[in-house]
A and B are shown apart, each in its own frame.
Chain A
Amino acid sequence: MNLDRRRSLQPSDRLARALGWLGIGLGLYQLLAPRSVTRSLGVEGAEAIVRTCGARGLATGMGALSVNPKQALWARSVGDVMDLAALLALLADRDHPKRGSVKLALAGVGACAAASLYCAQAQTRRHAYQGGRTPDYRGRSGFPRGLEHARGAAATRSGLPSRPMALPSPAHSPGPRFQTTPSRQRDTSGYTKGSDYDY
């Protein structure tokens, strides 16, 4: 199959998906193994905070995979900025035992924050709900003879084969039908309470 590259999914959509899955993966890791995170960053005892960050990442990650991810991406960007602030605070402590790990985390979170911000902006432009020119449709009645002429016009129109047959019911169906079987239609001699005749 020769692919033509005209497609609805744009690079920012694919980036949103990647960020979504990344957020879900990291969120689960933080939720399930918070001690590993706190140990590597030298902040033992802060497991509850790590779990909260994990839940946040999970939520924004799922949102980034939704039909309209822009709100989740903005939320994720705010979260990333908060994470950056926390990591910078750790880095400010020159005696911090895991400065190397913190620097590494800072680089990773910084890259994710930049990607999130870029993607949130792109998705906001892309999903500009009701954006663009707002036309005036007040002249589009759809009734060439005017609205007043149309009111009830079909209700009084003759020769309507379809109208009364709105329901999928044999009693109101058009066209030739299968005959109901004599035993079901007429013969009720075998009737007992609780049979098919009791509706």
Chain B
Amino acid sequence: MKALCWHGKNDIRYETVPDPRIEDARDAIVNVSSCAICGSDLHLFHHFIPAMESGDVVGHEFMGEVMEVGAETRDLKVGDRVVVPFTITCGECEQCRRGNFSLCERSNRNKALADKVFGHAGAGLFGYSHLTGGYAGGQAEYVRVPFADQTHVKVPDGLTDEQVLFLGDIFPTGWQAAVQCDIEPSDTVAIWGAGPVGQFCVRSAVLLGAEQVVVIDNVPERLAMAEAGGAIAINFDEESVLARLQELTRGKGPEKCIDAVGLESHVPRSLDSVYDRFKQAMMLESDRAHVLREMIYVCRPGGILSIPGVYGGLIDKVPMGPLMNKALTVRTGQTHVKRWTDELLGLIEEGQIDPSFVVTHSAGLEQGPDMYNTFRDKQDGCVKVVLKP
């Protein structure tokens, strides 16, 4: 089959790889109809995520039709149309039974390695390094889905791929980020990053009834898309984020702050960004923390910081003093996708939201390597790429 494979920094290739096969009774093979390039795939592309190996099939946002099942996939049948959550869940361990699906204790087959790095491992993920199980990803024609009886969301035929594909990652990720904020009707929710996850954070905060939703970025067309979804835009190239947030909140700061950027945050002409880039180049830190620092600084005392943005390792100069003295709550984590999908599918079916708004580029899988560059450099107004194997 054909797939997109990682071969190093900035090096994604469209290659022929062996077809996946059933390895366990709970496996299924999915014939991928649509897959997407996620913002967090760019962290792999830039080689900020450790434990990648040359030839790894990437991609964790995909859907398709079940073409083969193992003996124990319960109600999952050949021919079912499914979206596959990026977090692989057994459904039986203590964390899964508590709904903490991204912390599944059994699906990461490289648990020993992840335990050494993180203390305790999280769930296995598709196409996201050997720290998360080393599973082949979904930017491919076919994918083996482990624990398939649990790791799927059945979707109705009446909805297009573009309407439901993002149930596998960015929609529930944006939703969880907003839910973690415990949004109240008087809240101002400030969201750093108007990329795909940031866009869904905006829509989720609006749906959950925030009084004001503010989005911070410097890409005009992304800010325009966020404004269309109900956000107030702050272009940090044109105005001071701190001053504008103060003005919008009568000097009190936003109650809820969401980091939809993650480990590659950078702001031109910012001293701490230069500092982070230097330290990162010298391998003295792995992640850049500009957004975290800014969130901690501007957030209203007693507020909540919600962090859906991906971090991989170590950061430096985190202002713990303000964090502690302002009694801020930090909530983060990979997305417990299955916890939210029933409700989100319901919202889509009711016509409350149509996630396809975020798709700006659609291409064949063979154009995937080029699309990585287009997405990375935000060329041609690229916000979200959907690939068709």
- Residues of chain A whose beta carbon lies under 8 Å from any beta carbon of chain B: 1-4, 6-9, 13, 62-63, 66-67, 126-145, 147, 150-157, 160-163, 165-168, 170, 173-178
Q: Which residues of B contact A62 (CB under 8 A)?
A: 281
B354 adjacent to chain A (CB < 8 Å): yes
Residue of A nearest to B338 (CB): A162
Q: Which residues of B contact A165 (CB under 8 A)?
A: 99, 339
- Please tell me if the beta carbons of A142 and B179 are within 8 angstroms of each other in the complex: no
Q: What 3 A-B pairs have minimum CB-CB distances, sorted nearest first?
A: A152-B209, A142-B357, A155-B209
- Please tell me if the beta carbons of B379 and A150 are within 8 angstroms of each other in the complex: no
Q: How far, in angstroms, from A166 to B97 measured CA to CA in the complex? A: 15
Q: A144-B351, A178-B97 are in contact. Are A151 and B2 (CB under 8 A)?
A: no
Contact with A along B155-184 (1 / 0, CB 8 A): 000000000000000000000100110110
Out of A140, A144, A153, name the residue touching B207 (CB < 8 Å): A153
B247 adjacent to chain A (CB < 8 Å): no
- Please tell me if the beta carbons of A162 and B342 are within 8 angstroms of each other in the complex: yes
Q: Which residues of A contact B383 (CB under 8 A)?
A: 137
Contact with A along B182-224 (1 / 0, CB 8 A): 1101000000000000010001101111000000000111101
Told that A67-B376, A134-B381, A142-B353 touch, could you supply 15 new A-B pairs with CB distance under 8 A?
A: A6-B14, A7-B13, A67-B9, A138-B224, A142-B229, A144-B351, A155-B207, A157-B352, A162-B179, A162-B343, A166-B176, A167-B180, A173-B99, A175-B98, A177-B97
Residue of B nearest to A67 (CB): B46
- Please tell me if the beta carbons of A4 and B343 are within 8 angstroms of each other in the complex: no
- Please tell me if the beta carbons of B353 and A150 are within 8 angstroms of each other in the complex: yes
Q: How far, in angstroms, from A157 to B293 measured CA to CA in the complex? A: 35
The residue among A7, A157, A160, A161 with the most chain B CB atoms within 10 A of its own CB is: A7
B20 adjacent to chain A (CB < 8 Å): no
Q: How far, in angstroms, from A112 to B16 measured CA to CA in the complex? A: 37
- Please tell me if the beta carbons of A143 and B203 are within 8 angstroms of each other in the complex: yes
Considering the complex, which residues of chain B in the window 357-389 have a beta carbon less than 8 Å from any beta carbon of chain A? Answer: 357-358, 360, 366-367, 369-370, 372-373, 376-381, 383
Out of A147, A163, A167, name the residue touching B206 (CB < 8 Å): A147
Q: A142-B353, A143-B229 are in contact. Are A177 and B372 (CB under 8 A)?
A: no
- Please tell me if the beta carbons of B11 and A8 are within 8 angstroms of each other in the complex: yes
- Please tell me if the beta carbons of A170 and B98 are within 8 angstroms of each other in the complex: yes
B230 adjacent to chain A (CB < 8 Å): yes
Q: How far, in angstroms, from A81 to B98 measured CA to CA in the complex? A: 64
Q: Which residues of A contact B209 (CB under 8 A)?
A: 151-152, 154-156
Q: How far, in angstroms, from A160 to B355 measured CA to CA in the complex? A: 20
Q: Which residues of B contact A143 (CB under 8 A)?
A: 203, 206, 229-230, 352-354
Out of B97, B373, B381, name the residue touching A8 (CB < 8 Å): B373
Q: How far, in angstroms, from A167 to B85 measured CA to CA in the complex? A: 19
- Residues of chain B whose beta carbon lies under 8 Å from any beta carbon of chain A: 2, 7-17, 45-46, 55, 94-95, 97-100, 103, 176, 179-180, 182-183, 185, 199, 203-204, 206-209, 219-222, 224-225, 227-230, 281, 331, 333, 336, 339-340, 342-343, 347, 351-355, 357-358, 360, 366-367, 369-370, 372-373, 376-381, 383
Out of A134, A139, A160, A167, name the residue touching B228 (CB < 8 Å): A139
- Please tell me if the beta carbons of B97 and A134 are within 8 angstroms of each other in the complex: no
Q: How far, in angstroms, from A27 to B353 measured CA to CA in the complex? A: 56
- Please tell me if the beta carbons of B351 and A4 are within 8 angstroms of each other in the complex: no
Shortest B123–chain A CB gap in Å is 12
Q: How far, in angstroms, from A38 to B281 measured CA to CA in the complex? A: 30
A-B contact list, 28 entries, CB within 8 Å: A6-B13, A66-B281, A129-B377, A129-B379, A130-B379, A134-B220, A134-B221, A137-B224, A137-B383, A140-B228, A142-B199, A142-B355, A143-B353, A144-B352, A144-B353, A152-B208, A154-B208, A155-B208, A157-B347, A162-B340, A162-B343, A165-B339, A166-B182, A166-B331, A167-B331, A168-B99, A168-B333, A173-B98
Q: A152-B209, A154-B207 are in contact. Are A133 and B180 (CB under 8 A)?
A: no
Q: How far, in angstroms, from A174 to B100 measured CA to CA in the complex? A: 9
Q: Which residues of B contact A147 (CB under 8 A)?
A: 206, 228-230
- Please tell me if the beta carbons of B353 and A8 are within 8 angstroms of each other in the complex: no
- Please tell me if the beta carbons of A141 and B357 are within 8 angstroms of each other in the complex: yes
Shortest A4–chain B CB gap in Å is 5
Q: A132-B380, A136-B224 are in contact. Are A168 and B14 (CB under 8 A)?
A: no
- Please tell me if the beta carbons of B10 and A9 are within 8 angstroms of each other in the complex: yes
- Please tell me if the beta carbons of B377 and A131 are within 8 angstroms of each other in the complex: yes
- Please tell me if the beta carbons of B99 and A174 are within 8 angstroms of each other in the complex: yes
Q: Which residues of B contact A133 (CB under 8 A)?
A: 380-381
Q: Which residues of A contact B100 (CB under 8 A)?
A: 168, 173
Q: How far, in angstroms, from A126 to B355 measured CA to CA in the complex? A: 30
Q: Which residues of A contact B199 (CB under 8 A)?
A: 142
- Please tell me if the beta carbons of A174 and B355 are within 8 angstroms of each other in the complex: no
Residue of B nearest to A155 (CB): B209
- Please tell me if the beta carbons of B354 and A154 are within 8 angstroms of each other in the complex: no
Q: How far, in angstroms, from A43 to B11 measured CA to CA in the complex? A: 43
Q: Which residues of B contact A136 (CB under 8 A)?
A: 221, 224
